[in-house]
A = this chain, B = another copy of it.
Amino acid sequence: MITNKNCIIRLSRYKNALYRLQALGFVKVFSDNLADAVGGTASQVRKDFSIFGISGNKKGGYQIDSLLEKLNSILGKDQLQKVIVVGAGHIGSALMRYRGFEKEGIKIVAGFDIDPAKINRSNPTPVLPLEEIKAFVKTNNIRIAILAVPDIAAQQAADMICAAGIKGILNFAPLGLKGAEGCIINNVNVEIELENLIYFVNVTEKTKKA
């Protein structure tokens, strides 16, 4: 089984680049075009494809549409992915209003919040009370949740979400959460990303001076 997160991220990048190339009228692509597009090497593109049994044509490169089909299938994009948001505050509601997920076949179908003032059943994306989450997840067969509650509530909310049957959490709170057995947690940690960027800017600055 493939456990290499970076490899899967590269597949997503290839897919995105392919859509752009397709929009530009291209119908086939070579490994080094893709490498350029995503900032990698041609070898790695071919190796990545080879891992998943994707093959192209000697001297002919890859047919973009069939390649996209295969990547989309690997990435689970052959069906609409329904996602919920837990915590309808600043970040949560920005995400619920964001239209960019649609083109990716991802749909935020509801938000949940502990604060009665945030409840709104008539929104395009309704915001529902926490108590309904378990039933909603079951009825609508939801597997993925975005967690956007205050830091202090994050672990507790994660436990609750896991108990409701969610299988994957994208966590925006800047702390590590323990997921229940069988629930995967990925983190989007803007603080750490900034810190990281600052570090690398600092070191390149220092080494340039030296």
Contact = CB atoms under 8 A, between A and B. Distances in A.
Given A174-B100, A196-B12, A196-B186, A203 B77 contact: no
Contacts of A174: 16, 100
Total identical chains: 2
Q: Is the interface of A mostly helix, strand, loop or mixed?
A: helix
A88 to B, nearest CB: 13
Contacts of A39: 176
Interface in A191-206: 191-205
Interface stretch (A90-98, A113-121, A122-130, A132-140): A90-98
Interface in A149-198: 151, 167-170, 174-176, 182, 184, 186, 188, 190-198
Contacts of A83: 194
A176 B191 CA distance: 21
Contact of A168 (B106, B144, B167, B201): B201
A39 B175 CA distance: 11
A191 B13 contact: no
Contacts of A17: 176
B191 A100 contact: yes
Interface string A13-55: 1001100100000000000000001110000000000000000
Nearest to A174: B100
Contacts of A193: 170, 186, 188
B176 A75 contact: no
Given A8-B199, A90-B94, 14 more contacts: A1-B203, A12-B191, A16-B175, A20-B175, A75-B195, A75-B199, A76-B202, A83-B194, A100-B191, A167-B205, A170-B194, A184-B197, A184-B200, A188-B190
Interface of A: 1-2, 5, 8-9, 12-13, 16-17, 20, 37-39, 74-77, 81, 83, 90-91, 94-95, 97-98, 100-101, 104, 106, 143-144, 146, 151, 167-170, 174-176, 182, 184, 186, 188, 190-205, 207-208
